[in-house]
Structure formats: structure tokens, C-alpha cells
Structure 1
Amino acid sequence: MHEPHSPLLRLAKRDGMPRGQVWAIRLGSFAAALLISALIFLIMGHNPLGAFGTMVTGSLGKKTAIRQTVRIAIPLLGTALAIAPCFKMRFWNIGAEGQITAGAVGASYFALFWADKLPQVPLLIVMAVAGAICGGLWALIPAFFKARWGTNETLFTLMMNYIMIGVVKWLQGGPWEGRPGSQIIPQFDAAAVLPKVLGVHCGWIIVLILMVFMFVYMKYTKQGYEIAVIGESENTARYAGMNVGKIIMRTMFLSGAIAGLVGFIVSSGADNTLHAGVAAGVGFTAITVAWLAQLNPFAMVAISMLLAVLEKGASTLETQMAVPASISDIITGIFLFCMLGCEFFINYRLIVRGGHKEGAAQ
């Protein structure tokens, strides 16, 4: 029997699922994304196999394509690593866009006004440190308000994105403007540009080092343990004698510093200048990367590359098959939706009223 007022359908948290079943669901979601995308291509009058082939060859078919795909993946991976400790602590940092931009501003100051005063290596080091400090300080503001007055960090960090973007727009049309009336900040001097390694700026080496650092930090340090405890229960953390407010501010400064370092990498390695769109939506897409990877730094590498392949492949569809940009965005969105949706079925089960022991949809 069932309760007379129990709902027809309800969700229950799964205690666990065999690894084979988990991967079966993930592969199934990927296959579903392929099928839905193929249907859209058919409706648009394109051969699905040809479209998928164009996406793969456009992102991985040549050395130049691979390098461009890696360039897309670098800020995605770096930003996902940045927000991971906050999310582990259940502090919802939605402000990575602003923190990346703040880091780019800090690095750009030295690139624009110190390039003739320092040799290349010291200049790049100073730019990296400045980017990390600026990103960390920008992230520290909402952390302080959260720790002191319990403000809503989601709205606070989100709004701070637009403030920092506004600062850059002011710099573009004001004190850092190059040619009067251009609204453009000048290109960096060659000494302020990251050198290339294997055809890609050395930012990829920096983010791989960050990946190892974050894995060790989260898993094997006292600070990582404190983050995990607060994520499970703030009351438990306080009972254990932890200074929750201090840990929140310390973790957010670290998160913002890594995001600021990404801002330095993008401005110095990819764009070679500063502009209002320097973050390019990476701060939001990286949230998807972090969640899909279950906050595992090594898994973030694969997820970042997959999304980079989709983005680069979608742009190739526009140029080679005349597929509208909107359709390319829809295809990318379908893959993201299916990939995120499969995690729902991995973590929850659907219970139907009147089912066998209310255990349907195992």
C-alpha cells in the first residue's frame, strides 16, 4: 500500500550505483546527444555523418586545428580549477568572469607601462603575480561580506562581473585608450607576450601545473580537509573549532587568484591586449566543466578538451558547411544538456507511486 496523499512521482537520492552502470548512463547520454543533433542536421538539410566528420576534422584533423582547440581548452580548465574549491565548500562563486577580467587588468597594467623597464621573464612573472593578486582581491570582497554578514554569494559574485567589465570599458575609452576615439587598448609589446611551446602559448603548461597543485591541495592538505568539512556542514566545522569565515575568505582569495592568473594567460597568451570581453563567457562554461568532472582536477582536463572540440568543431561547421551560428550553438547546447542530465540520473532515481516497493526507474 501507499500513503493516500503521496505524490505520483517523486525523486530519491541514490545511495550508490555500480561503476559499469554509471558509465553506461554516460555513454547513453552521449549517444542521445548524437541522435538529437543528427535529427537537427537532417531537418536543416545536411548530412549528419558529414557534419560530425567536419566537426572532428575541424578541431582535431590538423596540427593548426589541434592547437586552436587547445587554446580554447586552456582557460576552461584553468577557470574550472579556480572555482572547484569554492564549490566543494558550497560557496557558489559565479564571479569567475569578473575575477578573470580583474586579473587581466592587473597584468595589462604592467604589460602596457612596464614593458620597456623590465626584461621579458621578470616582466611576465610580475604580470602573473599582479593578475593573481587582482583576481584574489576581487574575489575577497564577496567572501568578506559572506563571512561578516551572511550575504548571498551567488548574486554578489554575479553582479561583480558586470562591475569589472564596466571598469575595462572605461579604461578602453579613457586612460588606457590607444588612438583617440578608437576605444581600443594598444597591443602588448613582444616582451609582455607569453612564449609558445609546441605551437601554443605556454599557458597550457601553467594550467597543468595548477591541475596537479589543486589535486594535492584539495586531497592531501589541512586546508583542503577544512574546505570539505565546511561543504558537508558548517555547524560541524564550527563545532570542530574551525574559523569558518576565515576559511571562506582564504578559499575565495585562492579561487580568485587562480582565475586572475587565467586572465593573465588569456590577455598575454591569446589576445595580446585587454578588452571588455577578455573572459568570453569562460567563467560560466567552466561551472559546467567543474560539475561534470565532479570537481576532480584530472577529469576536468578531458571535459575541457571535449567542450573545446565542440566549440572549435561548431565554428568549422559555420565556415565549411554554411551552418548558421545559431545551429552550431544549439548542437553544443544539446551535448551540454545531455551530459549534465546524465549526472541527474546517476545521483537520483524516480519513484512511481504504486510501483514495486516504490522502486521504479532504478
Structure 2
Amino acid sequence: MTTASVPLPNWITYGLIPLMNLMLAFFLSGLVVWSIGESPWEALKFLIQGSLGRGDAIGFTLFYTTSFIFTGLSVAVAFHAGLFNIGSEGQAYVGGLGAALAALALDRYVPWYVTMPFAIAGAAIFGAAWALIPAWLQAKRGSHIVITTIMFNFIAAALMVYLLVNVLIVPGKMAPETRTFLEGGQLPKLDWLMALFGLDLGPAPFNVSFLIALVMCYLVWLLIWRTKFGYEMRTLGISPSAAIYAGVPYVRTVIIAMLISGGLAGMMALNAVNGAAARLQVEFVAGAGFVGIAVSLMGRSHPVGIILAALLFGILYQGGADLSFEMPTITRDMIVVIQGLVILFAGALEHMLRPAVVRIYQQFAKA
């Protein structure tokens, strides 16, 4: 029996091994910082203080975390069905159009809590619609989902630029963006939540979409592990041939899974469009769709793991910005290197330490 097939307790598989991989990634990141003549401990201090040391820093960290939760869930849902959705970036982009149209139509007439369900539905429907064609091509024509979703990211970017420059732009303005939403189209900040912990949110755009993201985590958990369709998805993801032989409808399962995945990606726009900017702008997604791939891998495609992984990347994003300001020799590019090392060891090389852990575990189990 190979070490890859040796069963381990969940606390080792989902707790100890990811933690060891993460510590190794930070150790190598420390060596990179040390190699340019800076103190790794000082860098770590600035990273933590910049992301968790103040109320506004925590607010920005949780703002980034919210976006990564949505896109991480999007990738995870597709992955459980055996699909590698690389298109969350484009689906989130188009989802922003749905959320913005709801806000633009309703913000003059109703309060935000009436607009919010329509914005959620608009973001989800538009994101799901953008995932539909790649899903149909995969299910009916055998076109690889990775290729089609990557290509649709570029199409989404071009489409949104065209709409913002030629259709939705405010007359007389140069900036390619919609008008600013009135209060009826904006998601309010969660300053009251921060105040419960004695923290001042300050200018951080931490908003109600964070609570929506947590609700989506629970609903995804119910879908994957507590429904018949979730069981069919997981069966298809583990063995397509066995699933089809057992009667799982392949076309239906692939299309519905991708629609849900695209809808979750589209809902990421609530955080940036209705929450932070209060308008639809060019490139508001800012790479969150691609970060969601790493978040899903690190979180083992489980909602709890995705929350923790999204929080880690939120810390790296916000703390990295503060770190590059306090220590100018550590540029934003170096922060990207640190993020890449975390992805490498906690995602791509997640089983690198497993053989050693298995041997140690077996020795203790025999004792």
C-alpha cells in the first residue's frame, strides 16, 4: 500500500498536514526576505499588524476574505463534480453587471434591504449564464471546461469594457463606470459588528456581503453533503464512468453544477460593486477569481477550509500592502512571491510531506 492510500485521521489530513505545508511556505518566504537583507521577524510583525492590528486593517482583511470566499466556493462546487472551473474571474465580472443593473433600477425607489435580494439574484443569474455555454460545450460536445472557461474570461473582459465605455458610462465623464448608486443600491458597512469587539472600521469597505458569503458556505455544505444531487456530483467527480453506469445523468449534473459554480462567482460582485465602490467599474474583480482556485485547493474544497484559506489570503493581501509600505525593499512583487509559495506548498505540493507523516503515524500506532 502506498502512502497516498494510507488512511489518516481527519485532524492530520485536514489540520496537521496543511499547517505543516503552510509553515514550510512561510519559512521559505522568510529566507527570501532574509536574502535581501531584511529581518523576517520584522516583516512578519508588519504583515500581522497591517492585517489584524487595527480595526480598519481587520476590515480590509475581511473585505478581501469575502471576495475569496465566493470565488473559492465557485471553484469547489465545480471541482466536486470533476470540473475545473477556471472561469470564476469572468463569471464574477459578468455577475457585476447583474448586480449593478438591479441597483441602478431600484436605488431611487426602495431601501437597500429591498434591493439586496434583486442584486443577489442578478449577480447569480448573470454569473450562471456566463458559465452555461462552457458547461453545455463540456456536457454535449466534450470541449474541455478548462479551455472554454479560460477563453470566456477574455470575452467577459472585452464585453464589460465595451458596455462601460459605450453603454453604461455617465454622459460627460471620462471614467468607464456607471453612476454611483444611491443608498438604496448600496450594501451597508458592518461597522456595528466591528463595534461589538471594540474596533473602529474606519474607511474599510467591510460590508453585508460578508454575511451573505457565510450563508452561501452553509448552503454549499448542505448541497454537497446533504442532498441527492450533491451525492451525484461527488460520485461524478470521483469516477465519471462509475457514476454514469450507476445512472447519474451526466449532462444534467455537469450543467447544473456549473450553473451553481458560475452563480457563486457572480455573487462575488456584491462585495466590490454594491459594497465597496457603489458603482460598476472596469476590472473590479482584480484577480479574485484566480485566487479562488488557490483558496479552494488549500481549503480542500470544503466550506470551512475555504473560509480559513480565504482569511489567509485576505491577511496576505492587506498585510502585504502594509508591509511593502513599511519596508520598501519588500516590493509588491515580492508579496506575490510569498503568496505563490503558499499556493505551491499548501496547494500544488499538498502531499509532499504526507509520506513522512504516514511513517511517523504508523510507528506511533504500532507502539
Give TM class, smaller chain.
Answer: 0.7 to 0.9
**CA distance, structure 2, for counterparts of residue 250 and residue 88 of structure 1:** 12
8 Å contact 1:17–1:346 — kept in the other structure? no
Q: 1:237-268 CA distances to partner (integer Å, 9 max, x unpaired)?
A: 22222221011111111111111122233210
Secondary structure of the corresponding residue to residue 286 of structure 2: coil
| Match in the other structure for 1:359 | none
- Cα–Cα, structure 1 residues 217 and 44, in superposed 2: closer, same or farther, change >3 Å? same
| Match in the other structure for 2:182 | 189
| Match in the other structure for 1:337 | 344
8 Å contact 1:102–1:138 — kept in the other structure? yes
Which residues of structure 2 form unaligned runs of 5+? 194-200, 357-367
| Match in the other structure for 1:90 | 82
Q: 1:236 aligns with which of 220, 232, 242?
A: 242
Aligned-residue offset at 1:182: 3.1
Q: How many residue pairs end up in the alignment? A: 339
- Which residue identity does 1:190 align to in structure 2? E
Of the structure 1 ranges 172-181 and 133-142, higher mean CA displacement relative to structure 2 is found in 172-181
Of the structure 1 ranges 264-273 and 289-298, higher mean CA displacement relative to structure 2 is found in 264-273
- Which residue identity does 1:169 align to in structure 2? V
8 Å contact 1:98–1:164 — kept in the other structure? yes
8 Å contact 1:314–1:332 — kept in the other structure? no
Secondary structure of the corresponding residue to residue 345 of structure 1: coil
**CA distance, structure 1, for counterparts of residue 71 and residue 310 of structure 2:** 10
Secondary structure of the corresponding residue to residue 274 of structure 1: coil
Q: 1:309 aligns with which of 297, 315, 318?
A: 315
- Cα–Cα, structure 1 residues 37 and 239, in superposed 2: closer, same or farther, change >3 Å? closer
| Match in the other structure for 1:204 | 210
Aligned-residue offset at 1:276: 2.6
Percent of aligned pairs with the same residue? 26
1:168 maps onto 2:175 in alignment: no
**CA distance, structure 2, for counterparts of residue 183 and residue 73 of structure 1:** 26
**CA distance, structure 2, for counterparts of residue 247 and residue 157 of structure 1:** 17
- Taking structure 2 as the reference length, what is the TM-score of the superposition? 0.86
Secondary structure of the corresponding residue to residue 260 of structure 1: helix
Of the structure 1 ranges 328-337 and 142-151, higher mean CA displacement relative to structure 2 is found in 328-337
Q: 2:115 aligns with which of 105, 120, 123?
A: 123
**CA distance, structure 2, for counterparts of residue 167 and residue 202 of structure 1:** 28
8 Å contact 2:233–2:253 — kept in the other structure? yes
Which residues of structure 1 form unaligned runs of 5+? 1-11, 350-362
**CA distance, structure 1, for counterparts of residue 165 and residue 336 of structure 2:** 31
**CA distance, structure 2, for counterparts of residue 134 and residue 60 of structure 1:** 34
Of the structure 1 ranges 23-32 and 116-125, higher mean CA displacement relative to structure 2 is found in 23-32
Of the structure 1 ranges 171-180 and 24-33, higher mean CA displacement relative to structure 2 is found in 24-33
- Cα–Cα, structure 1 residues 14 and 320, in superposed 2: closer, same or farther, change >3 Å? same
Alignment of 1:66-145 (within 5 A): 66-145=58-137
8 Å contact 1:169–1:275 — kept in the other structure? no
8 Å contact 1:104–1:260 — kept in the other structure? yes
- Which residue identity does 1:148 align to in structure 2? K
8 Å contact 1:136–1:257 — kept in the other structure? yes
- Cα–Cα, structure 1 residues 145 and 21, in superposed 2: closer, same or farther, change >3 Å? closer
Aligned-residue offset at 1:180: 3.8
8 Å contact 2:176–2:282 — kept in the other structure? no
Aligned-residue offset at 1:328: 1.9
Secondary structure of the corresponding residue to residue 182 of structure 1: coil
- Cα–Cα, structure 1 residues 151 and 75, in superposed 2: closer, same or farther, change >3 Å? same
Of the structure 1 ranges 162-171 and 65-74, higher mean CA displacement relative to structure 2 is found in 162-171
| Match in the other structure for 1:64 | 56
1:325 maps onto 2:332 in alignment: yes
**CA distance, structure 2, for counterparts of residue 303 and residue 154 of structure 1:** 23
| Match in the other structure for 1:5 | none
Of the structure 1 ranges 103-112 and 331-340, higher mean CA displacement relative to structure 2 is found in 331-340
- Taking structure 1 as the reference length, what is the TM-score of the superposition? 0.88
**CA distance, structure 2, for counterparts of residue 341 and residue 257 of structure 1:** 26
8 Å contact 2:78–2:85 — kept in the other structure? yes
Of the structure 1 ranges 74-83 and 328-337, higher mean CA displacement relative to structure 2 is found in 328-337
Aligned-residue offset at 1:28: 3.6
